[in-house]
Chains A and B, each alone.
Chain A
Amino acid sequence: MTRRSALPGFAPAMSVTMAWVGLIVLLPLASLAARPWTMGFAGVWHSISEPRVLAALRLSFGAATLAAAINVPLGLLIAWVMVRYRFPGRNLADSLIDLPLALPTAVAGIALTALFSRRGWIGGWLALIGVKVDYTPLGILVALIFVGLPFVVRTLEPVIVNLPLDAEEAAATLGASRGQTIWRVVLPSLAPALLAGFGAALARGVGEYGSVIFIAGNMPMISEIAPLLIVIRLEQLDYAGAAALGLVMLLVSFVILGLLNLLQARMARRPA
């Protein structure tokens, strides 16, 4: 900044901000980054390469990826209908989409468990065709689809609103069918947003705890998610082991999100 600012308050506001960010965000995260190494490099490696840990990480990342992938077409459908169509109850339906974000995860967890239990409204029907959701990995998927849906819808909606109609008109004028226009014109311009929504839902799903643990059954090696394993290690007073697992989760998430960001930037640059 070359000229002196006429606006006051920068220094005090900045001090408050720095103190807050430092004490509430950076100091605690620094303790997470430092703690695992108290057991040495070999100790950390041993701690995170246990079969039970690897199974939990595979489950958390795998289920979150699958749930996010399922949420992409669901979210696209919902966002498209909300933006492009007018029908009675649209505003109500659109407000409802944020429910999984407003609802405490523990409430979502017990509600989904009740819904998908053998005697529940949905579980009862699924039991007839021999599908069991509660206390299985399938339950984890159901919970992650629930919490991830708004991320895809809300990422897509503003992009669909701003989609230039003249591209669709041009395609139509040139003789493309509506299906061809959607496939060749609309979807390619939505691709970066679809990827961003996928990434946001994935990031949420990887760390999700409250909505999952009630319905998952939490069997080690089968339906035990990584965040739960952190809680278990803390209960056993294995602080360094808990921190090591937390650090691995965080780093893998950041790498995945970074790669998705790169891919998204590349897609956005590519001429349509």
Chain B
Amino acid sequence: MSEQVLPGLVPLAPTTERPLVRTSLIVLTLVLLVIMLVLPMAIVFVEAFAHGATAVLRAIADPDAVAAIELTLIVAAISVPLNTVCGVAAAWCIGRFRFRGRGLLVTFIELPFSVSPVISGLVWVLLFGANGWLGAWLDRLGVRIIFAVPGLVLATTFVTFPFVARTLIPLMQDQGRDEEEAALTLGATGWQTFWRVTVPNIRWALLYGVLLCNARAMGEFGAVSVVSGHIRGVTMTMPLQVEALFNDYDWVGAFTMAGLLSLLALVTLVVKAALEWRIGRPGGGWL
């Protein structure tokens, strides 16, 4: 854009805002972000350390807290790999092949994102709860799903189902199938092609999807709350433990547990920013 004004022409009006306007908008944005995002984050740590570091350490060492941390890790360790394998399989079909019903399949995969967390837990109770479709039958077999760890895993898997597939599908569609076909023509087997051509091409986006999937799996509250039964030390994940301690007026305990989850969120954001710096922001993701 030239600042020069030719004689006889109207002077160019600006294509950006005046400096004063720009500065005020930037300041306003930063103030908004501090109030809306930084303060809620900061108060978690301030409340956790309200009675000093020893209280925090004692809260972390509490047996129920340790059990909650372990259970959260176990649930994520089952749900995330399952959704990763299935997400890659789904993206392989949708991204590399054309078939009837492809759009419908994508809709089904994305469905859990538009379902309330509470409903995501409710559906499992309807299936496996005491009054559920399969509840009585499972009861005779002595299998417990609701108010037990399998229910937590199922609810978490439902909620985090779309992350990996959603991140991979647009990327794999864009990449097309030329490289894989070249590898096959040159004599590679299907698995060799997958591991040596496909996986290196999608690895960062895959990591991105797994990262978001894991953050949600460890932090999910509504869905697991419905199926948990809230048995202390047995079916309490970290977010559920936050609620229980908060309702007991144990603020240090609640905000310590919340602080650990906040650290997880912050680490997720940092790794996510690093991945975006490398591959750009993939479509899908959280939205």
Contacts and interface: CB of A to CB of B under 8 A. Distances in A.
Interface of A: 1, 5-10, 12-14, 16-17, 20-21, 24-29, 31-32, 35, 74, 77-78, 80-82, 84-85, 87, 89, 91, 93, 95-108, 110-112, 114-115, 120-122, 145-146, 149-151, 154-155, 158, 165, 168-169, 171-173, 175-178, 181, 200, 203, 206-210, 214, 227-228, 230-231, 234, 237, 239, 242-243, 246, 249-250, 253-254, 257
Contacts of A228: 118
Nearest to B40: A111
Given A1-B98, A7-B97, A96-B38, A105 B222 contact: yes
B158 interface: yes
Contacts of A78: 29, 32-33
A237 B89 CA distance: 38
Given A25-B158, A146-B40, A250-B115, 5 more contacts: A102-B265, A104-B220, A169-B1, A210-B222, A246-B118
Contact of B119 (A100, A200, A249): A249
A116 to B, nearest CB: 10
Interface string B27-58: 01110110111111101100100000000000
Contact of A28 (B16, B127, B254, B286): B127
Given A32-B119, A151-B287, A98 B16 contact: no
Contacts of B123: 28-29, 31-32, 246
A234 B122 contact: yes
A8 B131 CA distance: 44
A162 B194 CA distance: 34
A101 B22 CA distance: 28
A7 B193 CA distance: 10
B245 to A, nearest CB: 9
10 nearest A-B residue pairs (beta carbon): A207-B116, A104-B219, A28-B123, A210-B221, A209-B222, A8-B190, A172-B13, A227-B118, A102-B265, A20-B86
B143 interface: no
Contacts of A145: 36
Contacts of B201: none
Chain B interface helix/strand/loop/mixed: helix
A99 B222 contact: no
B112 interface: yes
Nearest to A93: B33
B80 interface: no
Nearest to B211: A102
A8 B254 CA distance: 51
Given A102-B269, A103-B261, A111-B258, A254 B114 contact: yes
Given A20-B90, A111-B41, A104 B116 contact: no
Contact of A206 (B12, B26, B116, B157): B116
Given A103-B265, A173-B12, A154 B286 contact: yes
A124 B92 CA distance: 54
11 contacts: A10-B96, A20-B86, A25-B161, A97-B37, A98-B286, A105-B239, A111-B44, A115-B40, A209-B221, A210-B225, A250-B116
